[in-house]
């Protein structure tokens, strides 16, 4: 594909101008991915494909039983995409190598892409599952417990939390990231803006109790 054709194909979907060097960017990206595949991915491709196939079945089951909005929240660990007149479609893509975080691309016209993490099914009964470890670690810090206490009274923006916690922005971002990856809080994402708000995820402490009991007593 020539640079001109690449620009013509991509530009209708972007909110910002397409960089003039997009052809070079594509060429370099392909080179990097080929090297990555040869050095790493090809030896794990079969196992990762099995994980992604399992996730496909889980996604279809969630969509059938819970509907699209709840499916996004459940699979993306508390991510709630708010309605927006310009948002027509949300595309979920399961990925293995970004776990345990979501990666959101909403700089497209009319649609949003969310890369959400999937993990292999854990088979070692003697070891606590990664999801339980993330939850217990997130709850083991007094600053994060205080953030949860603040959020229990209602959703708050990042700026609100900076004022209410007296934490630096970088420190607050760190603690929110741990709470998010543990699935303990929601993030209400407003597409095409920086107006996200955080809240406590409904029923999450019941989930912690169930996961602890399931691991300890079974």
Confidence at residue 3, expressed as pLDDT on a 0 to 100 scale: 47
Secondary element (H or E) of residue 79: strand 79-81
Which two three-digit tokens encode residue 185?
Answer: 């809080």
* Res. 2: pLDDT tops 60: no
The structural domains of the chain, with segments of one domain joined by +, span: 1-43, 46-120, 130-217
pLDDT, tens digit, 9 for 90 and up, residues 145-174: 999 999 999 999 999 999 999 999 999 999
| Nearest of 163, 188, 162 to residue 174 by alpha carbon | 162
Burial environment of residue 140 by CB neighbours within 10 A (0 to 12, 13 to 18, 19 or more): exposed
Q: Which one is the CATH code of 130-217: 1.20.1250.20, 1.10.10.10, 3.40.50.300, 3.30.1360.200?
A: 1.10.10.10
pLDDT, tens digit, 9 for 90 and up, residues 10-68: 566 666 666 777 778 889 999 999 999 999 999 999 999 999 999 999 999 999 999 99
In the DSSP assignment, the letter for residue 123 is: -
* Res. 122: pLDDT tops 80: no
- In this structure, how many other beta carbons lie within 10 angstroms of the beta carbon of residue 80? 19
Confidence at residue 123, expressed as pLDDT on a 0 to 100 scale: 63
Beta strands 111-117 and 89-95 are: parallel
Confidence at residue 101, expressed as pLDDT on a 0 to 100 scale: 84
Q: What pTM was computed for the model?
A: 0.83
Which two three-digit tokens encode residue 186?
Answer: 């929601």
Cα(45)–Cα(48) distance, integer angstroms: 5
* Helix/strand/coil percent split, the chain, to 5: 55, 15, 30
Which two three-digit tokens encode residue 6?
Answer: 């690449």
* Res. 195: pLDDT tops 90: no
Cα(90)–Cα(110) distance, integer angstroms: 9
């Amino acid at each position: 594909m020539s640079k001109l054709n690449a620009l013509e194909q991509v530009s209708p979907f972007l909110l910002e101008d397409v960089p003039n060097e997009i052809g070079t960017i594509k060429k370099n990206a392909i080179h990097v991915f080929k090297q990555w595949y040869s050095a790493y991915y090809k030896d794990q491709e079969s196992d990762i494909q099995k994980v992604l196939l399992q996730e496909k079945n889980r996604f279809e089951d969630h969509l059938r039983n819970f509907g699209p909005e709840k499916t996004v929240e459940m699979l993306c660990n508390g991510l709630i995409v708010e309605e927006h007149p310009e948002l027509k479609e949300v595309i979920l893509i399961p990925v293995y190598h970004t776990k345990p975080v979501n990666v959101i691309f909403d700089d497209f016209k009319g649609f949003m892409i969310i890369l959400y993490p999937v993990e292999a099914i854990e088979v070692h009964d003697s070891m606590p599952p990664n999801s339980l470890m993330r939850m217990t670690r997130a709850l083991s810090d007094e600053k994060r417990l205080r953030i949860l206490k603040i959020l229990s009274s209602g959703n708050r923006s990042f700026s609100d939390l900076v004022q209410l916690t007296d934490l630096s922005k970088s420190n607050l971002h760190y603690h929110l990231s741990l709470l998010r990856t543990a699935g303990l809080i929601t993030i209400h994402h407003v597409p095409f803006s920086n107006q996200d708000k955080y809240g406590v995820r409904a029923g999450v402490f019941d989930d912690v109790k169930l996961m602890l009991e399931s691991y300890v007593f079974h």
